[in-house]
Amino acid sequence: MKIAVLGVGTTKFGELWEFSPRALVKEAVSQALADAKLDLAEIEALYVGNMLSGILGGQENLGALFAEELGLRCPAFKIEGACASGGLAVHSAILGILAGIYKTVLVVGIEKMTDHKPEQVSAALMGAGYEEERMAGITFPGLYAILARVYMEKYGITQKDLAAVSVKNHYHATLNPKAQFQFAVSAEQVLASPIIADPLRLLDCSPVSDGAAAIVLSSKFKTKGKTPVYITASAVATDSLSLGGRKDLTSLLATVRAAKKAYQIAGISPKNIDVAEVHDCFSIAEILACEDLGFFSRGKAAKEIAAGKTTLNKGKLVVNPSGGLKACGHPVGATGVKQIGEIVIQLRGEAGARQVKGAKVGLAHNVGGSGSVAVVHILKNE
Amino acid sequence: MSNITPVKIWRHQKKYAPFLGKEGKIISWTLIKAPPVGYEEEAPYPVVLVELQDKKRIIGQLVDWTKKDLKTGKKVKIVYRRVGKVDLEGVIHYGIKFRPV
Amino acid sequence: MGSQEGTMFKDVGILGFGVYLPRSRIKISEIASVWGKSGEDIERSLGVIEKTVAGIDEDAVTMGVEAGINALRMAKISPEQIEAIYVGSESHPYAVNPSATTIGEALGVDHNYFAADLEFACKAATAGIQNLAGLLKAGLINYGLVIGSDTAQAKPHDVLEYTAAAGAAAFVLGRNKKDFVAQILDFDSYSSDTPDFWRRDGIPYPSHQGRFSGEPAYFTHIQKAAQRLLTKTKMKPKDFAYCVFHMPNGKFPGEVAKRLGFEKKQLEPGLVVGQIGNPYSASSLLGLCRVLEIAKPDELIFFTSYGSGAGADSFVFKTSKLLGKARKRVPSFSSYFENKIYISYPTYLKFTRRI
């Protein structure tokens, strides 16, 4: 069975004050359906990826809510796995198709974060962590800062090395009209930005964003008028909820496990990947991801990234051409779906100024919490 | 926004006694400058990942600290302190934190 | 008091004691400068140069827990053996909800214990000692824990602001003489209705009646309780190696000691108020702990606490040969006393939750 990504759609990511979650979902879905040249009536199930609708907005039951909003009368589900909610929604949709129950499904990732104050969002995001972490008053930047410090002390990496990730992703985002930040930043600017959780600075951290992304998956319909793109692997793995339970703090074992399964299912190895969207919630996260996904060996990723090995038009494997979470934005539940959308556009050759030339195989990597759950998808064009 | 309730506090408080006074060392640390809701009064504060003598690892706030205590390997001890913002009407939330030895 | 003369409490004594002092200190001169007063004048008149300030996440319960851990460790008994807990404070975190059980749970005490919180201004904990002595002497318990702990508050610009401090002292008491680090030979009290210092329910700061807290209050009650006990035990001031009195400031204890016939050299070792201020229910007990830290075996200590409202509890303690070894088991009074950092007045307001 081949699962094609028939259509993709993404709203702009950013501080979208006038747009409600319903408006954002409708926008992303209408783009995806138009892109798929498919009628709404063909959709057999709806999967919604979202984390904070309940904690921040007091609204749960998003499956039913958006099914009605979109005019669908089909089975609908909310899937939650912290920042991996989008990727997990895609994975869940694929399971429905693989099981033969549905043939054509719609996956939507949506998050509305700017209706609330930063301190409230910060506290809400810690719902992805462990109770004792919340009691300690730590934030997500703080959890990744703890990881960053271990990595930096082990491999002699400096704050300047971390900054290279943000510099690269901001550069990519200047070529992405949907990105939240379409301006470049320099390493000096990153190092001059205020400390959020030592050693991570403001410009090491992905922003608070609103946005939605949607994809249409089908085992039945053929792609019309563009290069077909298929999802050839979808794998999920978990690790301890708390950092206290991790065996190695310089790696996210959940990523390693999910990636290993995905490569195995797809029958490929890391060196086959031409383009990847990885989970750079913080600069250190992209560095760990590149090693955990097998792109670089342990301890080497920071220097390789700083040397441009994953930069558009410089490196062979381009990482986060969309601008990543850092510069494209990170509406939590939308990210995992947007990542798939970006890879699809790349593999179709439709990415314009940020096209990774000749890309045939792509990877999307989505993480929840401080590494407690990871989802890896592999896509190929035909 | 706090999800703490008297019943949860009651369950938590039964667990602290074996930990109080135990020692460990800092595996990694961060200094929180942008606190979440309820921790504004205490910011900035360090949060540390500590390995206790029995190899168990826990995360907690570091109190009574100076800059030179913020380093990997520093010995710390578990102490009993209030957690989070003081609510004038609710049950007080106590928990464990770390103090440099 | 009591139907017997002489040593009534042969078999009641201290098995272990522990202290806690918060790390932060504020200088009297720092407070004085805010109100445009002369720090030197105030230091001289009060006999205090700095005081302890509890951190923003500390309270009478958290301090009591640490002092309690130290006392239990010195006594070498497991928490499950504690059968009674009394906590005396003027700053119990709750008006209704006992500090005794919160502290008990944190210490790992089992569930079969008598418990109550006590209030009697600065002598609440010594009243607790008397209660435990009764339970021990009656054979109703084998081990009891008493804690005096306070995060004393004072109204800004009031004279109490220079001395109201924070600290805790804990004692494990038992009735097996071979375990005593110090024995309670006897005690007595003098109580009356004297409104020298008070705090109404719901009001954050105490009030006081100025100089009325002196003669009719502090001096009368301490002197009467002390003289009664000396008479009952047929002891004289010169029999004692040390004397400890409640320390609302650095002057009153010296004056009352002199009036009772004690000498400066007996008082000075326990006179800790000059550098920690007055942590209310822990004040006199911290002086006692300081003395126990340096006392030799078989020395007599004369001790009298004072609580406004008013009353004084007078005790005679005798150290044992076990004291020297036992006190090495836990962090000493001096280790807490010397571990300090100075804070500014704005930080003091932040820690005491006024801003």
Q: Which residue from C23, C62, C341 is facing B81, i.e. has the nearest CB?
A: C62
- Whether B63 sits inside 8 A of C57 (CB atoms) is yes
Residue B1 located in a structural domain = no
Residue C4: the pLDDT is: 47
Residue B43 located in a structural domain = yes
Q: Do residues A304 and A156 touch, judged by C-beta distance below 8 A? A: no
Q: Which residue from A122, A197, A245 is facing B30, i.e. has the nearest CB?
A: A197
Token pair of B44 as six digits: 């900035």
Question: Residue A6 contacts by C-beta under 8 Å, 6 or more apart in sequence?
Answer: A35, A36, A37, A38, A104, A216, A217, A218, A221, A223
- Tell whether A195 lies on the interface with B, counting CB pairs under 8 A: yes
Query: From start to end of chain C, where are the E strands?
Result: 13-20, 24-27, 50-53, 84-88, 114-118, 143-151, 166-174, 182-194, 197-198, 207-208, 242-245, 300-307, 309-319, 341-342
Kindly give the pairing relationship between strand C114-118 and strand A76-79: unpaired
Q: Count Cβ atoms below 10 Å from residue C112 Cβ, excluding itself.
A: 9
- Whether C57 sits inside 8 A of B81 (CB atoms) is yes
Residues of A with catalytic annotation?
A: 83, 330
Confidence of residue B76 (pLDDT cuts 50, 70, 90): very high
Same fold, C13-180+326-351 and C186-320: yes
- Tell whether A39 lies on the interface with B, counting CB pairs under 8 A: no
Q: Which residue from A120, A146, A196 is facing B28, i.e. has the nearest CB?
A: A146
Q: Which H/E stretch holds residue A212? A: strand A211-218
Name A9's bridge partners: A214
What sign has the CA pseudo-torsion C329, C331, C332, C333? negative
CA distance A16 to A32: 20
- Chain C residues contacting B via beta carbons under 8 Å: 23, 55-59, 61-62, 65-66, 69, 73, 79, 93-94, 97, 102, 105-108, 341, 350, 353
**SS3 of A279, please?**
coil
Token pair of A96 as six digits: 């429905």
Instruction: For chain C, give every domain's residue range.
Output: 13-180+326-351, 186-320
- Tell whether B10 lies on the interface with C, counting CB pairs under 8 A: no
Q: What is the DSSP letter of C120?
A: B
Closest C-alpha among A347, A380, A340 to residue A364: A340
Q: What does the pLDDT profile of chain A (382 residues) look like in tens digits?
A: 899 999 999 999 999 999 999 999 999 999 999 999 999 999 999 999 999 999 999 999 999 999 999 999 999 999 999 999 999 999 999 999 999 999 999 999 999 999 999 999 999 999 999 999 999 999 999 999 999 999 999 999 999 999 999 999 999 999 999 999 999 999 999 999 999 999 999 999 999 999 999 999 999 999 989 999 999 999 999 999 999 999 999 999 999 999 999 999 999 999 999 999 999 999 999 999 999 999 999 999 999 999 999 999 998 999 999 999 999 999 999 999 999 999 999 999 999 999 999 999 999 999 999 999 999 999 999 8
Question: Residue A269 contacts by C-beta under 8 Å, 6 or more apart in sequence?
Answer: A263, A294
List the C114-118 sheet strands across, edge first.
C114-118, C84-88, C143-151, C166-174, C13-20, C182-194, C309-319, C300-307, C242-245
User: How many domains does one find in chain B?
Assistant: 1
Residue C8: the pLDDT is: 64
Residue A341: the pLDDT is: 98
Residue A318: the pLDDT is: 98
- Whether B92 sits inside 8 A of C59 (CB atoms) is yes
Token pair of B24 as six digits: 């460990």
> In sequence order, what DSSP letters do the residues of B44-97 get, joined into one string?
SEEEEEEEETTS-EEEEEB-S--GGG-STT-EEEEEEEE-S---SSS---EEEE
* Radius of gyration for the alpha carbons in chain C, expressed in angstroms and rounded: 19
Q: What is the DSSP letter of C201?
A: T
- Tell whether B27 lies on the interface with A, counting CB pairs under 8 A: yes
Q: Which residue from B28, B58, B84 is facing A149, i.e. has the nearest CB?
A: B28
Token pair of C158 as six digits: 């009031």
Interface predicted TM-score (ipTM) = 0.95
Question: Residue C106 contacts by C-beta under 8 Å, 6 or more apart in sequence?
Answer: B13, B16, B17, B20, B80, B94, C61, C65, C68
Chain B contacts of A157, Cβ < 8 Å?
none
Q: Which residue from B1, B32, B33 is facing A138, i.e. has the nearest CB?
A: B32
Neighbour subunits, A (≥3 Cβ pairs < 8 A): B
CA distance B52 to B75: 10
Closest C-alpha among C175, C171, C183, C182 to residue C72: C171
CA distance B81 to B79: 6
Show the CA angle centred on residue A238, arms to residues A234 and A241, nearest 5°.
Answer: 145
Q: What is the DSSP letter of A166?
A: H
Among C20, C21, C57, pick the best mutation site for testing chain B contact (most B Cβ within 10 A). C57
**SS3 of A50, please?**
coil
Token pair of B70 as six digits: 């913020």
Residue C204: the pLDDT is: 87
Residue A214: the pLDDT is: 98
Q: Which residue from B35, B49, B95 is facing A135, i.e. has the nearest CB?
A: B95
Helices A140-155 and A159-173 meet at what angle, rounded to 10?
120
> In sequence order, what DSSP letters do the residues of A332-381 get, joined into one string?
HHHHHHHHHHHHHHHHHT--GGG--TT--EEEEEEEETTTTEEEEEEEEE
b/e code B58-77 from CB counts within 10 Å (16+ = b): bbbbbbbbeeebbeeebebe
Helices A21-36 and A62-70 meet at what angle, rounded to 10?
60
Residue C2: the pLDDT is: 53
* Stated length of chain C: 355
Q: Do residues C228 and C314 touch, judged by C-beta distance below 8 A? A: yes
**SS3 of C10, please?**
coil
Domain spanning C13-180+326-351: CATH 3.40.50.10860: no
List the C341-342 sheet strands across, edge first.
C50-53, C24-27, C341-342
Question: Residue A66 contacts by C-beta under 8 Å, 6 or more apart in sequence?
Answer: A22, A25, A46, A48, A72, A76, A108, A110
CATH of the domain at B26: 2.40.50
User: Would you state the CATH architecture of domain C186-320?
Assistant: 3-Layer(aba) Sandwich (3.40)
Closest C-alpha among A152, A253, A242, A258 to residue A200: A152
Q: How far is CA B14 from CA A245, B9, B20, B23, C130, in A?
A: 22, 9, 12, 20, 30
> In sequence order, what DSSP letters do the residues of C41-88 get, joined into one string?
HHHHHHT-SEEEE--TT--HHHHHHHHHHHHHHHHT--GGG--EEEEE
Show the CA angle centred on residue A13, arms to residues A7 and A17, nearest 5°.
Answer: 125
Q: How far is CA B44 from CA A31, A145, B62, B92, C100, in A?
A: 45, 15, 11, 22, 32
Share of chain B above pLDDT 90, in %: 82
- Tell whether B79 lies on the interface with A, counting CB pairs under 8 A: no
> What are the respective helix, strand and coil percentages of chain C, to the nearest 5?
40, 25, 35
Residue C1: the pLDDT is: 54
Among B2, B33, B50, B55, pick the best mutation site for testing chain A contact (most A Cβ within 10 A). B33
**SS3 of C114, please?**
strand
CA distance B72 to B29: 7
CA distance A70 to A325: 27
Among B94, B96, B97, B99, pick the best mutation site for testing chain C contact (most C Cβ within 10 A). B94
Residue B85: the pLDDT is: 86
Residue C215: the pLDDT is: 92
Closest C-alpha among A97, A71, A62 to residue A230: A97
Please, do chains C and A touch (3+ CB pairs < 8 Å)?
no
Kindly give the pairing relationship between strand A195-197 and strand A200-201: antiparallel
- Whether A137 sits inside 8 A of B95 (CB atoms) is no
Closest C-alpha among A5, A1, A10, A89 to residue A381: A5
Residue in B closest to C104 by C-alpha: B17
Domains of chain A are: 3-117+210-218 (3.40.47.10), 139-207+231-381 (3.40.47.10)
Show the CA angle centred on residue C254, arms to residues C250 and C256, nearest 5°.
Answer: 120
Residue with tokens 């000493």: C332
Phi-psi category of residue B29: left, alpha or beta, with phi > 0 → left and psi -120 to 50 → alpha: beta
Q: Do residues C166 and C174 touch, judged by C-beta distance below 8 A? A: no
Query: Which residue positions in chain C have pLDDT lower than 50?
Result: 3-5
Chain C contacts of B16, Cβ < 8 Å?
105-106
Residues of C with catalytic annotation?
A: 90, 122, 246
Q: How far does B61 lie from chain A, in Å, by closest CA?
A: 5
Token pair of C325 as six digits: 């070894």
